Amino acid sequence: MKRQHALSVELKSGEIAIVDKGRKSFQIYNRGEQAPAAKLKSLFDIITLRDLLNDAYPVEDYSHAQVRVQKSSSL
């Protein structure tokens, strides 16, 4: 089974967030724009951003809200 390396999500504001694990990049695109509004190309920076968001908004505090929480899988 081949794993998917790119993941994306449409944010409530209409922007699209894309993570490409193979290229170690994270980008946010405004609706209809060609160039990304935000771009990280360092795994260190991506992990730092993830940790910042996890510290600010812990999953256990928001799991009851109507938000998409991705569960890890053993596949």
Say what the pLDDT of residue 4 is. Answer: 73
Instruction: Going residue by residue through the chain, which has 75 residues, state the pLDDT in tens, using 9 for 90 and above.
Output: 566 789 999 999 999 999 999 999 999 999 889 999 999 999 999 999 999 999 999 988 887 766 665 554 443
In a domain, 33, yes or no: yes
In a domain, 57, yes or no: yes
Confidence at residue 2, expressed as pLDDT on a 0 to 100 scale? 60
Residue 74 lies in a domain: no
pLDDT at site 60: 86
Environment class of 55 (CB within 10 Å of its CB; exposed 0-12, middle 13-18, buried 19+):
exposed
User: How many domains, in total, are found in the chain?
Assistant: 1
C-alpha distances in Å from residue 42, one per residue of 5, 9, 20, 67? 16, 20, 11, 27
Q: What range defines the domain where residue 28 resides?
A: 6-61
pLDDT of amino acid 73:
43
How high is the pLDDT of residue 75?
A: 39
